[in-house]
Chains A and B, each alone.
Chain A
Amino acid sequence: MIEFALNYAWLVPLLPVLSFLTIVFLTRPWARLSSAVAIGAMLGSFLLASSLAWGVFTNPAFIEEPLHYSLRWLGMEGFTVNAGILIDPASAMMLFMVSLVALLVQIYSTGYMKGDPHYSLFFAYLSLFAASMLGLVISSNLLQMFIFWELVGLCSYLLIGFYTYKVSAREAAKKAFITTRIGDFGMLLGILFLQIQFNTLDLLELAAVIPNFAQLGVSLGLLTLIAILFFLGPVAKSGQFPLHVWLPDAMEGPTPVSALIHAATMVVAGVYLVGRMLFLFVEVPGSLTVVAFIGAFTALFAATIAVTQREIKRILAYSTVSQLGYMMLALGVGSLSASLFHLWTHAFFKALMFLAAGSVLHALHNKADVWEMGGLIRKMPITGWTFVVGGLAIAGIPPFAGFWSKDEILLVTWEYARHGHALGYLFFAFAALTAFLTAFYIWRLIFLVFFGPEKANDHVHESPLSMTLPLLVLAVLSGVAGLIGTPWTNLWSTWIHFGDAHSGEPAYLLMLLSVVLALAGIGLAFILYCKDQDKQAARSLAKKYPALYNLSYRKYYIDEAYTWFTRKIVDGGAKVIYLFDIYLVDGVVNGLAALTKGSGQGLKYLQTGKLQTYALIFFLAVLVLTVAFNLDSANALAHLGGVK
């Protein structure tokens, strides 16, 4: 099995592709069959991916020497692209994680999407997304990766706008697509520059040549440009600070989509990409600092927004943005393993929370305001308690998964600061504050939704097994997934690391700090939102600092700013260009056209449009030509009829 999986790794993304095609072309009219096909394919993928991961992680050889298959894909003079697969521990981990979450989400969706008119299509999209994501993960080549990168973007677009009848969903889909396009554009430019400069896009080859950029005659400035351009992609895809605006809006899609794409998999593609390209970033001094700064800022920034949001999925979305910032921060401070470790744990607990939120919304018929919920844990015990597990995990309470990864990030940040980076302390402060806020807003959510007095929701009941089963699985994983990366049993960083394996010894103080911060956050949330039945304190706080509250609640007016920017600046610029176009360019073109038209005007009368006239002329010509060509020679007729 393992052998097979290693040899046929390309099957992992292929199976969902097949299911996508099957559903679209064959089984679309039969909803149940479609979902069965999708889940079957995903199960196959998952089994392959898990045995692949097992194979990779149990064999130390792979950790050092990635598996790499490739074959010639595009070829032309001076430009060859090989397509292939690259399996190293990071991609193996990603494969395992993505296929697992995708599988669980699909199982969940059979319950969540039940009765939707486009049920089959939804599974087709999920399959396509899973295929693209898996393809992205195992791509050995930047162009190939870019294609999958765009494909996941497309799927994200399709799935955000899945409820096509909702205006907000359509708008959100467009927003997501356009926003990420900005980043993708930068990334494409980066890829092109790399191709031009290094004449290869293969990751392994690039990893080999980039450190020697100076010998190849590539200036540092150019490399910096490339790195910044490259970073634009992840900034957009992973919702980092200036381009994060699409991610909360993307919650208009069905909740399983949010869980799969906008929490666990696609958004972390950016982190994964930066991690993959870390060999580029380390060569450019300062670029990592930018990454770290943006990560840290995003983490705190999003956390402050999340504190005041009212919609359950929006809170989780900002939480996602914040956690992605964490991962970026970890990358920025140079720790691939910490970043990917957080990615790994985050995937489970965030997917869990999203799915649980979906379960809540499902039960409440899409009433999303957390203030209108309450006491749901009694009616939906499985959903509630799994959410609590997720909350503990994200808040960083040991031994839940989040604790270990977050602790790791704090640790590497701290060490980064300790190693002479002045900004490091700022980052650390940001990270710590974020940790506190994270615990606070998540538990605010939990207390509001699941505890406290029950609101008038008589008909609420637990979701079906197809929805609760993935929750339970994810809850278990949220509990234990971090245990492979504890400071004592640090399997993780022996598997995944950039440069030397980080050999951390447990920093008990930091752990303590982290736990204290988390507990403080939870405690504050408890005081404000659970103990205080009327939430008077919370309300009065909001009243007391309206500016702060509004700033947070209005998401720092970033959307408004963007709107203003596009309205005034972009449109203004466009107007100038427009004038230029209509007067100068069009003038020339129209002049040419008028000339052509004028000549055509005179000739058009030859075309009568009458078919038979043409035929008449045609036959006339045949007759004339026959006679003309044959009458000149003496024995023309005999020649014409000369049949032997």
Chain B
Amino acid sequence: MAVRQEEFVLNMGPQHPSTHGVFRIVLTLDGETVVKADPVPGYLHRGIEKLAEARTYTQVIPYTDRLDYLASMLMNWGYVQAVEKLMGIEVPLRAEYIRVIVGELARIASHLVATGAMASDLGGLTGFLYTFRDREEILDLFEMVCGSRLTASYMRIGGVAKDLPEGFVPKAKEFLKKFTLSLAEYNGLITGNEIFQRRTKNVGILSAEKAVDMSLSGPVLRASGVGHDLRKVRPYSIYPQFEFEVPLRTNGDCFDRYYLRVLEMAESVKIIEQALASLPEGPVMAKIPRIIKPPAGEVYTEIESSKGIMGVYIVSDGSPKPYRVHFRRPSFINLGYLAEMVRGWKVADVVAILGSLDIVLGEVDC
């Protein structure tokens, strides 16, 4: 309705049901239409980069868990990969396979949260619970592997902490079989729902040029039609060995960003199936010195995390503790464009757009 006359300021957050954590957006509204938005992050800032400077290389790993805690495996992976590159360590093949398996599982888990949260942001709470039901199974698998459900700390410099436990492979296969059915359920309940489509299609449209300009990455970028997935574009680990597609959508609206994640989950399932089928035997740790002292120098590596490009920049001064660690957090950079994206949309669309960006505040605020 047209409540014109005065614009009024609505302080959304830091405690709000759909800001996905402690995050605040100061919205200037005209009626229900957003005129201006000013996102205020930082409520979850813990200074992980500073903390890392006081810890040995290995000790940083548990802290990376706490970046994107929905896909902690991938965070671990991004960090250890950087250190490995700095030191020039060759990771055993079995370890790479395990990394791919748990990494893709983590990607599925993260996308499940995004999918469910998107549904619940739009008022469909049931979808949220359905996705969490399946996410629990992935977390069970993680628990089997490393003893933790959320903050895995599973990867080590030079490999992974432990070999896969007994019974993991069959259980994972069983999960994948079940999960394919679950995907159909999400598509029926959420994707195919006309109300959901009305709420998300052509809302918060992001052009490909703008997405590249704003350094957006991950599903947000690919939903705008830019096929920049590091697993294909700059393959790391053993991704070239697997056959999978990088799904692309072209409209760049909320629906595309949502649906792209659903499609990516299906692709991840494919990758895991292949990896499980061809899992080689062998050690899971490379031979590394007891005290990790990388040579002085700096390195920047990137992996494709569930939210986008996760980059790690490490400066070493030759001591056992990193001189400087910087994480390029995809959520943080993706969120930088929120203010532009929500302008001109309704309050309800702000929620949808924020949900479709899929941010994790642990990662944003670092």
State if A and B touch, Cβ cutoff 8 Å: no
